[in-house]
Structure 1
């Protein structure tokens, strides 16, 4: 619990930066998990609907401490940003919205974005060194990078390449056995086809004597059997994984996920009352989002602006600008939308924010909690180890691709200038210094994040922009 307290306030930069912080804290420093287990959990999170980084943070606490610590860790992780976004939604509903933020805030956000690139680059470097062990792993990671950076808006892409990556390494592992079995069966068929019974009957006396002489050999002294030394098994790195519920309970959670999804789909088609509409709509959205935070914003626009008119386009853009400078998961944007969807009810606007916040997070946490005991029980099977090799390779590729996507992130620091983050030499310098500080000098990431915010504020002062 204590380890999670700072995370709700320093996890700037989106899901990829969150993954980098979690890797540094729980793998490198705390050594709660190995790189292989961490990447497996990350791969599963990407293959399931919901917020990948939040699911991963929830998962680490769940398998280390149990259900209650897992829930508390999730609350500590996400509630600070959720409260702020709900409060902003309330304020926008009362006084109106503007889609522009103060320039000083934009400077800070861009500096933090530069730091987040360094965080992701450091995590990618660590996992590449550990998990890219052969040509197949490197090839799968490279293919994932190429696909993700070219088709970022395709929601089903990540689950698809996860599936294909696992299939490739499964076939890689099983193919030698299949080939050897085929060759053995072919050899047996060839021997049966060339066997002639007449050869046995037509054997000569010389052959009989020769075979008898060969059969009688002098008795050789029997040497004492040598003791076979079995190497001691390597100690596992993940011995302290704790579960407080069984696979049956996990199956119940998965069934509950689908029951609530069907119920939400039915309820949102009827205009019963606004609280039910909000809860069912955001649960439905949370259950069909693949790809995590980057996908949630355009999908929410469809459901809260285009379909229901709960928000105006200007209000939505205002919330989008704010969520990009907030720490914590991007799914906290739902609290902003829920508050505005319930704006006509005064202070109970926060009820709408809470229902939307619970609705969008609940499906991802349910499905991940349901899958975990099944994964834990079967992850040591040889066939799953082969599959996870491919999933892990793709997951590393996703982190490498994130470095490029964050680098190319569009920013605007003036009314007539829009460019990518990488085109600003100052922010590039911030990124390089941040990477050096964490990777070489081993400075804690939260100190680097804080320094990044200060650098952004100083840049605004030096530039003298209004």
Structure 2
């Protein structure tokens, strides 16, 4: 039934669509550029402070502000820009922010919206990273941080469950494949660190290839395991006046794609092949490579980041403490990069990590929008995206298993995980309050306070049973 297979973009669309943009109001293509830049600033300066709830909530917030309130574009244009972000590596909601501002005020408008959207989370997480690396013993976290890891991973479990509900009959085995492989290779000493770096991208390529083969089988026989839909024909990006304001020639888009590939290849060669040991180049290479592999953003980035930075840059506890802080902040989870860089190399490391992780997604959204009209009706391209997304969801499942092992070591941790997960999944409590609940419970149960539930939860042999 096609109704059951609608993509998740429809979750954000009400049955009653807003009216088409009023040409004499916000949609006038002849409005002065400086006025449109002012509109971008007025729209985005405060959204970075209130955009809690993850990518799904971000899309709903943006739709309400840009289509319903300001009428910058019609519904179809908004959904096409959202689809572009889903099809590129990087944080989807941030790419939607950039592309909508790009469509309204050109490249400078897109860049301004990007920085306004991310600035609050960037500043707070950088400061937290510097303070934690300076004053906190990574092997003995203070009592007021004990509950953060367990609460943070409860949100990862919730996200994974939400992702799996969107999988079709082909997506489930693809996700299971990537999940099991990622778990099996974790910490396996028989696999060299260099080889393990290529496992995740190989899984993504394999998932995309299987999806394309399944689509081709469907074309030949009329039977396919997955579900592949055509783009809506009600709007053409080439002809829409909103797209004409982007002002990026095709040759500039092509150059940006080349620049992205060049930076990716050069950084990998310098660090992994030539052996350059500059720590800032190392940070940039890791973040730029990870940012080039992650489709959909959000929780999908966590397994790759954990593999790269733990234990070389920091301990698991420090990683998970930062994850809890990042999930309690407004804006995209990719702001977590600034915390990781700050813990490793201070403010400079935070800025390099931030630019590295966001760089691929931002460069490619600027590059691909001019070409999108030529790809949006191509079904094989949509099959590629289906395979990539399903495989990435499996990596989130692997992150759940690996992060659970790292975060839940005592009975108190397990209790905090259960409480936080219930608040998030059943009662719909927002991420900042879920993380705050873990912080409060962890502090109350800590050895410095009530000293409850501090017995070891499990060991290598399994659950620790009470003595008879």
Please state which band the TM-score falls in when normalised by the shorter chain: 0.5 to 0.7
Indicate which of 361, 366, 369 corresponds to 2:366: 369
1:254 Cα shift? 0.3
Task: Say if 1:23 and 1:113 are closer, same or farther in 2 by CA, change over 3 A.
Answer: farther
CA distance in 1, matches of 2:341, 2:123: 12
CA distance in 2, matches of 1:454, 1:297: 19
Check conservation: 2:291, 2:361, Cα contact below 8 A.
yes
Q: Could you say which residue in structure 1 is the equivalent of 2:57?
A: 17
- 2:39 corresponds to 1:41: no
Task: Say if 1:266 and 1:45 are closer, same or farther in 2 by CA, change over 3 A.
Answer: same
Q: Could you say which residue in structure 1 is the equivalent of 2:94?
A: 54
1:329 Cα shift? 1.5
1:96 Cα shift? 1.7
Give the match's secondary structure for 1:243: coil
Alignment deviations for residues 402-451 of structure 1 (CA, whole Å, 9 cap, x no partner): xx99xx99898944426557973x656643xx8xxxxxxxxxxxxxx69x
Q: Could you say which residue in structure 2 is the equivalent of 1:265?
A: 268
Give the match's secondary structure for 2:361: helix
Give the match's secondary structure for 2:292: helix
CA distance in 2, matches of 1:76, 1:160: 37
Task: Say if 1:160 and 1:369 are closer, same or farther in 2 by CA, change over 3 A.
Answer: farther
Check conservation: 2:291, 2:358, Cα contact below 8 A.
yes
Check conservation: 1:13, 1:113, Cα contact below 8 A.
no
TM-score normalised to the size of structure 1? 0.59
- 2:115 corresponds to 1:75: yes
Task: Say if 1:273 and 1:387 are closer, same or farther in 2 by CA, change over 3 A.
Answer: closer
Task: Say if 1:144 and 1:13 are closer, same or farther in 2 by CA, change over 3 A.
Answer: farther
Gapped runs of 5+ residues in structure 2?
Answer: 1-39, 183-199, 223-232, 450-468
Check conservation: 1:332, 1:357, Cα contact below 8 A.
yes
Gapped runs of 5+ residues in structure 1?
Answer: 122-127, 129-139, 177-232, 343-348, 435-448
CA distance in 2, matches of 1:325, 1:92: 16
CA distance in 1, matches of 2:148, 2:110: 34
CA distance in 2, matches of 1:41, 1:335: 27
Task: Say if 1:301 and 1:38 are closer, same or farther in 2 by CA, change over 3 A.
Answer: same
Q: Could you say which residue in structure 2 is the equivalent of 1:280?
A: 285
Matches within 5 A, 1:344-383: 349-376=346-373, 378=374, 383=377
Q: Could you say which residue in structure 1 is the equivalent of 2:193?
A: none
Indicate which of 331, 336, 339 corresponds to 1:333: 336
1:375 Cα shift? 0.9
Indicate which of 129, 138, 147 corresponds to 1:89: 129
Q: Could you say which residue in structure 2 is the equivalent of 1:319?
A: 322
- 2:248 corresponds to 1:248: no
Give the match's secondary structure for 1:66: helix
CA distance in 2, matches of 1:102, 1:20: 33
Indicate which of 403, 415, 418 corresponds to 1:417: 415
Task: Say if 1:294 and 1:366 are closer, same or farther in 2 by CA, change over 3 A.
Answer: same
TM-score normalised to the size of structure 2? 0.59
Check conservation: 2:121, 2:329, Cα contact below 8 A.
yes
- Between the two proteins, the alignment pairs up a number of residues equal to 362
Alignment deviations for residues 347-386 of structure 1 (CA, whole Å, 9 cap, x no partner): xx2112111111211122112211111114x267xx44x6
Give the match's secondary structure for 1:417: helix
1:316 Cα shift? 1.9
Check conservation: 1:51, 1:292, Cα contact below 8 A.
yes
1:57 Cα shift? 1.7
Q: Which has the higher helix share?
A: 1
Q: Which has the higher contact order (CA 8 A, sep 6+)?
A: 1
CA distance in 2, matches of 1:29, 1:149: 41
1:387 Cα shift? 6.2
Check conservation: 2:287, 2:353, Cα contact below 8 A.
yes
1:170 Cα shift? 9.1
Check conservation: 2:254, 2:367, Cα contact below 8 A.
yes
1:61 Cα shift? 1.2
Task: Say if 1:148 and 1:274 are closer, same or farther in 2 by CA, change over 3 A.
Answer: closer
Task: Say if 1:341 and 1:392 are closer, same or farther in 2 by CA, change over 3 A.
Answer: closer
CA distance in 1, matches of 2:260, 2:364: 6
Task: Say if 1:263 and 1:429 are closer, same or farther in 2 by CA, change over 3 A.
Answer: closer
1:28 Cα shift? 4.4
1:23 Cα shift? 3.4
Matches within 5 A, 1:47-446: 47-97=87-137, 102=144, 144=171, 238-241=240-243, 242-268=245-271, 269-306=274-311, 309-342=312-345, 349-376=346-373, 378=374, 383-384=377-378, 414-417=412-415, 424=422, 430-431=427-428
Check conservation: 2:328, 2:435, Cα contact below 8 A.
no
CA distance in 1, matches of 2:370, 2:81: 12
Check conservation: 2:54, 2:331, Cα contact below 8 A.
yes
1:460 Cα shift? 6.7
Check conservation: 1:27, 1:35, Cα contact below 8 A.
yes
